[in-house]
Every structure is written in C-alpha cells, then in structure tokens.
Amino acid sequence: MPDDIHVAVIGAGRQGRDLINYGLDLPGLRFKAVCDIWPCAQKYAAGLLKKRGHPATVYEDYREMLAKEKDLQAAIIATPDGFHCEQTLACLKAGLHVYCEKEMALTVADCRKTVEAARRAGKLLQVGRQHRSNPRYHLALEYIYAKKALGRITNVFGQWHGPKRVKFTWPQKLALDDATLKRYGYESMEQFRNWRWFEKFSAGELVNLGAHQIDVFNWFLRTPPKAVMASGGLDYYDFYELYDNATCLLEWDYAWEGKTRTVRGLYDVNTVTEDGGFYEVFYGDEGALTISEDAGKGGLWREQRAKVAQWEEDLPVLWVRPNSPPAKGHGGPQYLHDFGVLIGGPSEDRVFASLPNPGVERHQHWYHLKNFFDAIRGVWGLNCPAEVGCQGAVAALRAVDAMKAGRRLELKPEDFKV
C-alpha cells in the first residue's frame, strides 16, 4: 500500500523475532530489510516475513543496509545492548525513526548522546520499555491518581526473580567463523551467544530487567530517584563476568497534595530462583497496589482502617468473604488471569473484584510498537520517547555504579535532563 511505513529490523534473535511477529499484526507496515550477523537468524526472520507476504532483503552489516535501502522510514533495533548506541545514531542519521530495545546505551554519556541525536535528526526514538504502553499499567495509574485508591504513597517494592540460568550453546554447524565474530567485537562463539554476561555488551540484570521496573517506579512517582545504593555480585554461578544478583535501595522526592516527602523503595533481581516472579508494589497509607507484566498477577488492597471507597463500589465483586472459594472459573486471589487488577483487603469484609478489562488483551510489545507507528503517523505522541527512556536508563545505570562503588550515590534532577 502506498501509505505503508517501510521498516527494517536490526537483530533478529529472540526479541527481534517477537517484535517482527507483533509488528506483523499491525496494519500499514511493510518489512523491507532484516539485518543480523548470524545467517541462521537472518534465514529464520526472512522466512517468517516471506510467509506473511513481506519479502525482505537480508544483510549482515547494518551500514550496508542503510547505504542500500533508500526507502526505509523506521528501524527496529534488537541487537545486544552494546550495539544500540552506534546503530541508533546511524539510523537516525540516515533519517529513520527508531524503536530501540532497552537499554538504549551502556553508559550515561551514550544515553545522552542518543537523546541529542534524536533531537538533532528530528526523528522519533521509542525506547523498548513496553510497560509504558501497557493498558493495565495505565489503568493502575488511574486508580492511584484519579481514584486515590492508595492515599499517599510511602514505599515501593519490586523484584525480578527468574529461573536458573544456563550457558547458551549452538549447533557446531551454525557456528560463525572467527573473522566474522572478530569483525563485530566478539572473542568467541561462546561470548556471542552469552553476551548478557559480558560488560562489553550488557550492563547486567539491574539494567536488563531492573531498568523496566525502576522506570515503573519513576513513572508512577512522577519523578526520577534522588539517591541509590546497591549491593550485588557474581555469587552463585561459575560464569563469565557480570553479577548474577543485586539488591538496591532507592529514594524519591514524592509530591503529594502540595508537599514533598521521601518515598523509599527496595528492588531485587535474582537469577537463581523464580520464587515470586516479577512485579512492582506501591504502598500507600490507605492501600497497596501490586502490578506486573504477568497479567495473572496484580492486586489492589484497602487498608483495614481506610474507609470503603467509591472505587470498590464501582467494581464487579467476585468474592466477598475470606476463605470462601473463588468465583467459578477463577483461580484464586493470587493468579486471576485475564483481569486488569485484583482488588482485595485483609479484613473480614474484604472484597475481591476485577477491574474492567482495559481493552483487547494483546501482548504489551504489540501496544508499544503500535504506539511507535501511530506516533510516526502523528496520531499520538510516543509513550517512551528518548528523554523518558534516558531517565530510566540513567537511574538503572547509576544503580550499577552504586553497586560497584559499594556506597550511596546522590542523584540530582539535572543528572536526568538532557
């Protein structure tokens, strides 16, 4: 179609392929090119696109792709983090709008450089923090601010507990030759496959995972943190070089009803146990809200002494007494699937109910990509533009600095401004 947006994908590994799949479910896109240094990833992505009616030209080097493909309007970048800055800068310079996976860069200086480049180019840069487009998170914000369901927020908590890690392997026949590996800065096939554990390509899990969740805190508290301290290390695995667990404490200056107060938060990332999974909690003096990328997790609790609120009256009640069985078809309070947020309270009169479904249930990557392409068409602004992406990146990267320094770091508002 003449109005289709022409798109290239750089990095067609696990995440790149997911983004291609979600992009294929969006109208008005034409995938024209795929770039990946691994032939098996190129072949898989090109095959997938061809099957869905998008014959795409395949490239190994993004520079060659940008030189030859003259009618691209947008690029989706899903290579290892260490390439994001250079590839984003090149795509912006070539006049493309960019959807770049998190993290946008591995240093604060490079994050800022990327923001400046987007501004200079006058192009859109969406950072891949898909929470920012997730309708459930938007609904949760409505309960916090429009309905004041938590009262004043005093503390936050978040964790990402994931399954035990394994070293990624590869079939020998698919190994890249040494010259190709070297050309892109990899010492070995093992490093190429396990890039997440190497400082040259990643800032570790406080950034891989933490950047999403610390960004949720900043977003919901409407301000970046004012201080961070952290502790972590490579304590469990006999692995490469980056830490395998970390815990940090953050502080924010939180504005509530004309006054500014400190909110403290604990954030924990663990690569050894899946216990508890991943979620964020906002604690207020009238209630608490749990929210997660996992659509089966979430809760809004009223403190026993808080008055029954209008928002409870407005919600369909599923379960009104403790210890009574959950309503038919629902798995119980912890894992209610397909609902926005679960409402509960610790007292005898507790109410369990679901929030109205905020829309068609799609994967949040789909919403975030949709927001990017809608923004290119001028329908909306971006949900995670360069400046906002940079704020989350700086907070997470400074948490890594605090961990390395073993001390508390004070952060100033200007640290987050570009």
Ligand X SMILES: NC(=O)c1ccc[n+]([C@@H]2O[C@H](COP(=O)([O-])OP(=O)(O)OC[C@H]3O[C@@H](n4cnc5c(N)ncnc54)[C@H](O)[C@@H]3O)[C@@H](O)[C@H]2O)c1
Residues paired with residue 245 on neighbouring β-strands, in sequence order? 233, 270
Residue 80 is a binding residue for ligand X (CB under 6 A): yes
CB of 75 to ligand X, least distance (A): 11
x-or-dash pattern for ligand X, window 199-238, by CB under 6 A? ---------x------------------------------
CA 399, CA 409: separation in Å to the nearest integer? 8
State the number of binding residues for ligand X (CB under 6 A): 24
CA 56, CA 34: separation in Å to the nearest integer? 6
Residue 13 is a binding residue for ligand X (CB under 6 A): yes
Nearer to ligand X, 75 or 248 (CB): 75
Rg of the chain's alpha carbons, rounded to an integer? Answer: 22
CB of 302 to ligand X, least distance (A): 32
Contact residue for ligand X among 130, 245, 270, 292 (CB under 6 A): 130
Residue 103 preceded by cis peptide, ω within 30 = yes
Residue 41 is a binding residue for ligand X (CB under 6 A): yes
CB of 81 to ligand X, least distance (A): 5
Residue 139 is a binding residue for ligand X (CB under 6 A): no
CA dihedral of 199, 60, 96, 393, whole degrees rounded to 10: -10
In what helix (H) or strand (E) does residue 63 lie, and over which residues does it extend? helix 62-68
Residue 151 is a binding residue for ligand X (CB under 6 A): no
Residue 385 is a binding residue for ligand X (CB under 6 A): no
CB of 359 to ligand X, least distance (A): 20
Residue 280 is a binding residue for ligand X (CB under 6 A): no
Residue 14 is a binding residue for ligand X (CB under 6 A): yes
Residue 10 is a binding residue for ligand X (CB under 6 A): yes
CA 127, CA 202: separation in Å to the nearest integer? 16
In what helix (H) or strand (E) does residue 357 lie, and over which residues does it extend? none
Contact residue for ligand X among 9, 11, 297, 391 (CB under 6 A): 11
Pairing of strands 317-319, 227-233: unpaired
Residues 300, 343 contacting (CB under 8 angstroms): yes
Q: What is the maximum alpha-carbon separation in the chain?
A: 68
CB of 317 to ligand X, least distance (A): 34
CB of 324 to ligand X, least distance (A): 37
Residues 71, 359 contacting (CB under 8 angstroms): no
Residue 133 is a binding residue for ligand X (CB under 6 A): no
Burial class (CB in 10 A: 0-12, 13-18, 19+), 132: buried
Q: Which of residues 50-79 bind ligand X (CB under 6 A)?
A: 62, 78-79
**How many CB atoms are located within 10 Å of the residue 123 CB?**
20
The secondary structure of the chain in percent helix, strand, coil, rounded to multiples of 5, reads 35, 25, 40
Nearer to ligand X, 244 or 312 (CB): 244
Residue 180 is a binding residue for ligand X (CB under 6 A): no
Nearer to ligand X, 101 or 110 (CB): 101
Take residue 84 and report the two structure tokens written for it: 């994001």
Name the residue with the smallest CB distance to ligand X. Answer: 13
Binding site for ligand X (CB under 6 A): 10-16, 35-38, 41, 62, 78-81, 83, 101-102, 128, 130, 184, 208
